Amino acid sequence: MLTAYLVRHGQTAFNAEGRIQGWLDVPLDAVGQIQAQCVARRFIAKSIQAIYSSPLMRAADTARAISQACRLEVIFDERLREYHMGDWTGLTADEIRMTTPTAHLDDPEAPVPNGESAQHMRERVISFLRDLIARHDGEAVVLVSHGGTLGAMVGAMLGLPVMRRHPFAFGNASLTEAGYESGRWRLRSLNDRCHLQG
């Protein structure tokens, strides 16, 4: 069985303000740095064979904290980047809704202006998962990424329709666990943040 631990990066200033980051390389803020250390401690006693991460700074720094706990190098993969949000980068959800027709938001084939579509995001996530399954049968891996990417990933794992608004929440520094066995994924936990209490 392959076990995949999905970790969303720690908090950034844009997260705190409710602003879309997309591919903008925003660093962790002071809270996010603490969150990264907290989620890293969840892996100290686990046997982890690989750590993959988005190359964007907020995910990369969260992954590096985990890599210290596991004593493994981080493998960066472009397919774990957040949605490319194009012209929406830096905006809040309310600002996007004021300027974008609702039909556009619900169309998986429609790209964000100067960005990517939900369908394209799903395809790159599926490509990553296929490689993961081929490389890590019987192993446990950590994947550090972004809320939108993790939503697309869990949606792909469960065979849900492609849509921009995924029915999942991923808090900063949250941990989600999934297992792959006998040709199918099973979700074991979602958005676990107990390590951040207190």
DSSP 57: H
For the beta carbon of residue 4, count every other beta carbon within 10 angstroms: 23
Residue 82 annotated to the active site: yes
Six-digit token string for 77: 């993969």
| Parallel, antiparallel or unpaired: strands 184-192 and 74-76 | unpaired
Q: Which DSSP helix (H) or strand (E) runs through 164?
A: none
Six-digit token string for 11: 């908090």
- Among residues 78, 82, 109, 181, which one is catalytic? 82
Residue 9 annotated to the active site: yes
DSSP secondary structure string for all residues of 97-143: HHHS-HHHHT-TTSPPTTS--HHHHHHHHHHHHHHHHHH-TT-EEEE
Q: Which DSSP helix (H) or strand (E) runs through 3?
A: strand 2-8
Report the candidate in 192, 191, 183 with the shortest Cα–Cα distance to residue 2. Answer: 183
Q: What amino acid positions are annotated as catalytic residues?
A: 9, 82
